[in-house]
Structure 1
Amino acid sequence: MDLTVACVDALWPLASQAPQAWLSPSETRRLERIRGPGRYREFVASRCLMRMLLSAHTGFERGWQSWVLEAPDNASPVVHACGLDGAGLHLNLSHSQGLLACAVFHLPVGVDLEVRRAARLRDVAGLSELVCSVQEQSWLAGLPDEGARQSAFLQLWTRKEAYFKWQGTGLDLSLLPAVCSQTPCPLQSAIAAGTSLAGEWGGRGFDLSVCAGASPIEVRIRLLEGVACLAPAHSSPWALTALSGRA
């Protein structure tokens, strides 16, 4: 799997060059519905990033603008081969506060990215009751301090959201407690494996997780300007277990 993390500002000089010439009709329709300059820039930059990643993944050298992508509502981007070596490839994208993460794989893949907000403390105790299993709640409560709980909760969240994006169902809040990360609480019958990493961008930390099925993932990471990886993906494998069998 290839994974790229980049900020909108670093991509914008390239992405803003006549996007109407390389966006597909469905992407253009999505863009026309977007209100607000920040979201506009993010959408165009993300579409540029996906094409750049496809070119790097396949070794295609005739220009990233040649890729044709569809942009279905409420679903992952779709790759059209269009004479290129793109058949059977799967993309997934996540964004948070001006930072983008995109993964490409030969199987369905889910990716979730969350930039940490230093001035904002989450109600970990309350949120964990809503989205975590009993085992995860116990693990979080046993961590030594609030900073550790904040960081651990965000990592659990990205893993769960990446899982649902891999499933293609979208985030289902009612099923979140039924999906348990094995890192803090090893369980049997793992149904999805993935990997996580932590990084830094613009003086803030971020957490990122990818999920692509039941086998361990080998991830090649590319970080664009201003993004640093603090913990390599291969150092943090994890698996998810459906506790209730519903997910």
Structure 2
Amino acid sequence: MAFAAMAPPVSRWMSAEELSRLAEMRAEQRAEQFAAGRWLARRLLAVTLGGDASEWMLSAAEDAPPVATHSGGAVGMPIFVSIAHSGDHLACAVSDMPVGVDIEALQPRKHLGTLIEATTTEAERAALPELIAGGDDEARMVAFFQLWTLKEAWIKCHGGSLFQTMIGHVVEAVPAPLEAANGLTWRRKDAVLALAAALPVGDIDLPDAMSWRLVSRETVD
């Protein structure tokens, strides 16, 4: 991964907790993804909130999103971080409110129709006619990955089980005006990127983004 190669040696900026977790990774690609994501997060924290990238510390619990702190204690508010990777693709978001990000490479899936039927609701299929069989295969795949990445981003923001969220339809996502949206998706060549936030993202005006409203099914039903 090119971004991992751009980072300084990990011993200069990773915490002991992160280095321990990195050492346990046997797959080279997974280790590179981990290092690249952690460095990207620090760069983004430095650009957004100040300080040098190496001054930012990230927790490294395997079952929880990273928590960011500044070594100088200059930032008193909670900082939420989300990191995602898929193959050579990498994404990161930092915010002063809970946030989740996901990215997926656009690759054909076997039994896509069955996956769509199992993981989407009637309202989602009605809002996205591209999901229906018989149309443009690429548009159908993109629509599926938009919903999939949105729901994975929602899990990272709110917590929950991947299986229960996807198969149990815990959350529903439909296109919405930006001022009412709490989710965004982008198509970037051979990948789809999604962002989910705890509050509306109306002040995030990014080109080419599609805006969505994600609602808990407890609220819908």
TM-score, length-normalised on structure 2? 0.85
The verdict on how the C-alpha distance between 1:143 and 1:160 changes in structure 2, with shifts beyond 3 A counting, is farther
Alignment match of 2:173 (pick from 153, 173, 181): 181
- Counterpart in the other structure of 1:227: none
* Alignment RMSD (CA, Å): 2.4
Aligned partners of 1:101 and 1:111 also within 8 Å: yes
- Counterpart in the other structure of 1:225: none
- Counterpart in the other structure of 2:41: 50
- Counterpart in the other structure of 2:119: 131
What CA deviation, in whole Å up to 9, does each residue of 1:58-114 have, x standing for no partner?
Answer: 132xx3112111111111111123214444111000000021100011101000101
- Structure 2, unaligned runs of 5 or more: none
SS at match of 2:97: coil
Q: Does 1 or 2 have the higher relative contact order (CA < 8 Å, sep 6+)?
A: 1
- Counterpart in the other structure of 1:238: 212
- Counterpart in the other structure of 2:56: 67
What CA deviation, in whole Å up to 9, does each residue of 1:35-55 have, x standing for no partner?
Answer: 022222111111111110000
Which residue type is aligned with residue 30 of structure 1?
R
SS at match of 1:107: coil
Structure 1 residue 142 displacement after superposition: 6.6
The verdict on how the C-alpha distance between 1:77 and 1:246 changes in structure 2, with shifts beyond 3 A counting, is farther
Q: Which has the higher strand share?
A: 1
Is 2:18 the partner of 1:33?
Answer: no
SS at match of 2:182: strand
Aligned partners of 2:113 and 2:133 also within 8 Å: no
Which residue type is aligned with residue 218 of structure 1?
D
* CA distance, structure 2, for counterparts of residue 24 and residue 48 of structure 1: 12
Aligned partners of 1:175 and 1:246 also within 8 Å: no
Structure 1 residue 220 displacement after superposition: 7.4
Aligned partners of 2:151 and 2:165 also within 8 Å: no
Is 2:145 the partner of 1:172?
Answer: no
SS at match of 1:182: strand
Alignment match of 1:79 (pick from 63, 68, 74): 68
The verdict on how the C-alpha distance between 1:34 and 1:57 changes in structure 2, with shifts beyond 3 A counting, is same
Is 2:77 the partner of 1:99?
Answer: no
Structure 1 residue 217 displacement after superposition: 4.4
What CA deviation, in whole Å up to 9, does each residue of 1:196-224 have, x standing for no partner?
Answer: 11113xxxx11111111231243477xxx
Which residue type is aligned with residue 35 of structure 2?
V
The total of aligned residue pairs comes to 212
Fraction of identical pairs, as percent? 30
Aligned partners of 1:194 and 1:217 also within 8 Å: no
What CA deviation, in whole Å up to 9, does each residue of 1:95-154 have, x standing for no partner?
Answer: 00021100011101000101112xx34422200222111222454217732221111001
Question: Which contiguous aligned blocks of 4+ residues in structure 1 show a shift greater than 4 angstroms?
Answer: none
- Superposed, which structure 2 residues align to 1:170-209 within 5 Å? 171-176=161-166, 177-183=169-175, 193-200=182-189, 205-209=190-194
What CA deviation, in whole Å up to 9, does each residue of 1:144-165 have, x standing for no partner?
Answer: 3222111100111111111111
